[in-house]
Amino acid sequence: EVQLVESGGGLVQPGGSLRLSCAASGFSFSDHYMDWVRQAPGKGLEWVARARSKANSYATEYAASVKGRFTISRDDSQNSLYLQMNSLKTEDTAVYYCTRRSGGSWTFDYWGQGTLVTVSS
């Protein structure tokens, strides 16, 4: 059974940092692109970042709203995905979901339960 379990969310002051983790199991983690998607309270979905697989040189992509502040990374030996978030802003407040890109299509076929990040003074 595919499982994605996020952790690391919490309350942080503006300008602060936080590191999110996503523990994956039940599939060959190293074969899949992995993404972070966020959802601000009462709002829609926003794609945040992507980490490609080793076969694609672990290349990364970012939304403009987080580029230069957030860093996505992965450790295939630990079946884990990370999101280092620096210089946090109040508008970064959201539930952050770890997602798996399907091997057969380009869609997000599995999502974690999410971890809430609150940026507030």
Binding site for another protein (CB under 8 A): 35, 37, 44-47, 50, 61-64, 97, 102, 105-109, 111-114
**103 contacts 32 by C-beta, under 8 angstroms:** yes
Name the minimum Å distance from CB 98 to another protein: 10
Name the minimum Å distance from CB 13 to another protein: 27
Name the minimum Å distance from CB 121 to another protein: 27
- Smaller CB distance to another protein: residue 3 or 13? 3
Name the minimum Å distance from CB 86 to another protein: 19
CA atoms of 25 and 41, how far apart (whole Å)? 28
- Smaller CB distance to another protein: residue 37 or 88? 37
- For 22-33, b/e burial (b = at least 16 CB within 10 A) is bbbeebebeebb
- Smaller CB distance to another protein: residue 82 or 108? 108
Backbone angles phi, psi at 91, to 5 degrees: -75, -5
- For 72-98, b/e burial (b = at least 16 CB within 10 A) is bebeeeebbbbbebeebeeebbbbbbb
- Smaller CB distance to another protein: residue 11 or 45? 45
